[in-house]
Chains A and B, each alone.
Chain A
Amino acid sequence: MTDEATTDDRLYTLIAELTYLCPLRCVYCSNPTDLAAHPDRLQTADWLRVFREAAELGALQLNLSGGEPLLRKDLEDLVAGAQRLDFYTNLITSGQPLTRDRLTRLRDAGLSSVQVSIQDARAAESDRIAGRVSFEHKLEVARWVKELGLPLTVNMVLHRQNLSRVAEMIALAEGLGADRLELANTQYLAWALTNRSALLPSRAQIDEAREVARAARERLKGKIELLFVLPDYYSDRPKACMSGWGKRYLLVSPDGLALPCHLAHTLPGLRFDNVQDRSLSEIWQSSEAFAAFRGEAWMPEPCASCDRRTVDFGGCRCQAFHLTGDAAATDPACSLSPKHGLITESRAAAQAEQLIPLTLRYREIGR
């Protein structure tokens, strides 16, 4: 009677990264490490036009993200604009800076749901990973979300330093009345790749946490939608990154680049169009960079003759580039990749590591 809506190729989701600025300095931030090179360049009217063009292309979901989208003073206007286009508008936020009054205004403007990131189940640990005292305020924001009748997703990023507390995280989300809990393992790109040796867990840690999550998912069925996302490094086969390059997602960066994913602008040799220069529809249909990894023509072996090429689309282009130096290589997370040794060596190091390295490199601007 139903299919996952995402079964054919068309734009479904626009990810609007409104700014890369953020009060937090999370050590696994998925923004590019050269984020200072991408300042906020789009005005309110630009974003509203981008939303309209995305809706015309068929987009139904809008993720307002960043950086911290709350730092945009025009967020209320953007939410209202999205509401007029009938988007399902999801605010993806660290929860700060935010007052209850502003959240009320955002709700009234037509926000559909709020995703709050919390870095750990314990205050000191959460604040340490975020690089700023923020835990208690995050909990307060999560409570406001529920009090104001908005659906709440709690997002917690997992790594070797917090995987042992997955049960506490689930209890925290339950206590907050979350509708959805994302327990998403760190993916080792951008800042997380910089901090990989401090964050990459052992297989035993992953297995134990996954079992806790599995049992909780069963127990909470119908109450909390619980997702446990494996790190690519322990998946054996790569994920269908963004459901395939340029298939269903389009992301616009703070400086106006139209991208197939969060880090595509870190790949060399691709020229991404700016939404200030071309319409979204032109970009989606005929931009060279969007065409680069669509379909199968670009695929090397072993992808080209692999049965799973229509399932995982060769994996993540950014992971391929940042680990092998070749964006058109098979994602090394795949055990069939000739470069899979890059992954197994990192895993072996995580396994052997007795002491957690304490040096974390915090996200910073102007590196």
Chain B
Amino acid sequence: MTEGGAPLELTLRPKLAPKTKLRLDQKTGKYLLLYPEKGLLLNPTGAAILKLCTGEHALSAIILQLATEFQSSPELLGPEVLAFVRGLLDRGLLQAEP
């Protein structure tokens, strides 16, 4: 478990917490991350990140993959991805393997 506030290691392999369920919402065509009593509505980047949070991919690989998918650069996408992952780790919606 990562300590809150410390910078994220790019070798971390984030994984959706067991209490979450990632699914497509037919009403909006957007992905949602559901957990007890609540849910997060995800934009396309958020959804793409979480689909890769299977515990198999390191953050560095996730950033590279997304950069390709969204025709962007790792430098540009990196901070956004890290902030998003950090937020969800703090909320217990993601877990991280070292």
Contacts and interface: CB of A to CB of B under 8 A. Distances in A.
B91 A225 contact: yes
A151 B19 contact: yes
A113 B36 contact: yes
Contacts of A149: 18
A179 B19 contact: yes
Interface residues of A, number: 31
A60 B42 contact: no
Nearest to B34: A88
A58 B19 contact: no
A223 B3 CA distance: 11
A238 B25 CA distance: 31
A4 B40 CA distance: 5
Contact of A90 (B2, B4, B37, B84): B37
Contacts of A60: 23, 25, 32, 34, 39
A291 to B, nearest CB: 21
Contacts of B37: 13, 61, 63, 90
Contacts of B34: 5, 60-61, 88, 112
B23 A86 contact: yes
A334 interface: no
A12 B27 CA distance: 11
A5 B2 contact: no
Given A1-B84, A2-B46, A86-B23, A221 B90 contact: yes
Given A88-B35, A151-B36, A3 B41 contact: yes
Given A113-B36, A180-B19, A222-B4, A2 B91 contact: no
A58 B46 CA distance: 21
A194 to B, nearest CB: 27
Given A58-B26, A222-B1, A223-B1, A179 B92 contact: yes
A1 B79 CA distance: 13
A10 to B, nearest CB: 6
Q: Which of A86, A151, A153 has the most CB of B within 10 A?
A: A151
Contacts of A221: 4, 90, 92
Interface string B11-48: 00000011101010111000011111111111101100
A221 B88 CA distance: 11
A4 B42 CA distance: 9
Contacts of A150: 18
B40 A2 contact: yes
Given A58-B26, A60-B25, A222-B91, A5 B32 contact: yes
Interface residues of B, number: 32
B42 A58 contact: no
A112 B16 CA distance: 14
A12 B38 CA distance: 9
Contacts of B43: 1-2
A10 B27 contact: yes
A90 B36 contact: yes
B41 A7 contact: yes
Contacts of A153: 36
Contacts of B35: 88, 113, 151
Given A86-B23, A112-B19, A222-B91, 9 more contacts: A1-B46, A2-B43, A3-B41, A12-B39, A58-B26, A60-B23, A60-B34, A88-B36, A224-B92
Interface of A: 1-7, 10, 12-13, 58, 60-61, 63, 86, 88, 90, 112-113, 115, 149-151, 153, 179-180, 221-225
Interface of B: 1-2, 4, 17-19, 21, 23, 25-27, 32-43, 45-46, 80, 84, 87, 89-92
29 contacts: A1-B42, A1-B46, A1-B80, A2-B40, A2-B41, A2-B43, A4-B39, A6-B39, A7-B41, A12-B39, A13-B37, A58-B25, A58-B26, A58-B27, A60-B23, A60-B39, A61-B37, A63-B37, A88-B34, A113-B35, A115-B36, A151-B17, A151-B35, A179-B17, A179-B92, A221-B90, A222-B89, A222-B91, A222-B92
